Amino acid sequence: MSDAVAAPTGAETGASVKAAAGQRIHLDKQTPDAYRAFVQAAKAVRAAGEAAGLDRILVELVNLRVSQLNGCAYCLDVHTRAALRAGETPRRLGVLAAWRDTELFTPRERAALALAEATTHPADADAEERAYAEAREVLDDAELSAVAWAAITINAFNRVSVLSKHPVRQD
């Protein structure tokens, strides 16, 4: 008789991963004080955007593009609804992932989207420098700062929702 334990099969490993995923805690519920602090930071960022004169659609485009890059279904759902409420069109939302290949976005929106992407993927230093330079051409200091903070904030919320596996449910 052998004391060796058989290695799990692919099916067993997959089942274990699925079971562990079902046991995810919702970070926002587990540590509500930290989450409330995030919410307060988001309110300050929103106020900074408003004070800088950023329209709601531009901010929601940033939120959506970052959420696309991070694969956050929950945030995509929330911010798609917010963008539509703010007056964004389904057509532009449909092509947002390929915004560079369209003529549907203004120079300000393009600069904000490039900066949001660079903020989300900071390891590409050349892309970050190009995005920052482009943003400086069309955004003033307050606008650029507000866009960067919006991208930083949604990146943080994406991490919380992805790690927590927040569900997207039917209405």
pLDDT for position 171: 82
Q: What CA–CA distances, in Å, run from 23 to 26, 59, 75, 165?
A: 10, 33, 21, 10
pLDDT at 6 over 60: no
If you write DSSP's letter for every residue of 31-43 in order, what string do you get?
SHHHHHHHHHHHH
pLDDT (mean) for 98-116 = 98
pLDDT (mean) for 1-13 = 41
Q: What percent of the chain has pLDDT over 90?
A: 84
Higher pLDDT, 31 or 3: 31
Average pLDDT over the chain, rounded to an integer: 90
pLDDT tens-digit map of 24-80: 999 999 999 999 999 999 999 999 999 999 999 999 999 999 999 999 999 999 999
Higher pLDDT, 13 or 30: 30
Q: What CA–CA distances, in Å, run from 88 to 68, 76, 101, 104?
A: 17, 14, 18, 12
Q: What percent of the chain has pLDDT over 70?
A: 87
Instruction: Tell the residue number behind the tokens 């004080």, with chain if given.
Output: 33
Closest residue by Cα to residue 92 from 72, 74, 113: 113
pLDDT at 1 over 90: no
Show the tokens assigned to 157: 């919320």
pLDDT for position 22: 64
pLDDT for position 23: 84
